[in-house]
């Protein structure tokens, strides 16, 4: 499987983390990175545009990124979860194939997780 991240979706509710991660994704080859901070905005974006790859913060304020992961799975779009928690959150259980990156992450840890998606 070849994984392209040229058109990426980043779902992150912390603006500083989002800016840093957007830069990291661009460094890894993303030409466009759509940044959304809520489930609603991410689902609205996915209903009108397509992406090659997505990176989802698990906890988005009072909600989780589970509905976004569900939509991505339905569309066969590879994605990563990002979390600051030690334990893998319950939101991931229906998406066992998804990889995780632990916050704080780096370009190298994102690249490694993307490489793992390629080999799955």
Q: What is the pLDDT of residue 117?
A: 85
| Average pLDDT over the chain, rounded to an integer | 88
With bands split at pLDDT 50, 70 and 90, how would you rate the model's confidence at 11?
very high
7-119 under CATH 3.90.245.10, yes or no = no
Say if residues 31 and 79 touch (Cβ distance below 8 Å): no
CA distances from 42 to 66, 72, 112, 114, 120 (A): 11, 11, 24, 20, 25
């Amino acid at each position: 499987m070849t994984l392209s991240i040229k058109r990426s979706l980043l779902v992150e509710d912390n603006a500083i983390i989002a800016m840093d991660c957007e830069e990291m994704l661009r460094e890894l080859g993303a030409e466009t990175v759509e940044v959304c901070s809520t489930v609603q905005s991410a689902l609205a974006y996915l209903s009108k545009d397509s992406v090659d790859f997505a990176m989802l913060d698990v906890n988005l304020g009072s909600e989780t990124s589970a509905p976004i992961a569900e939509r991505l799975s339905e569309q066969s779009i590879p994605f990563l979860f990002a979390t600051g928690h030690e334990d893998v959150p319950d939101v991931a259980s229906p998406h066992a194939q998804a990889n995780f990156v632990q916050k704080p992450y780096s370009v190298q840890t994102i690249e490694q997780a993307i490489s793992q998606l390629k080999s799955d």
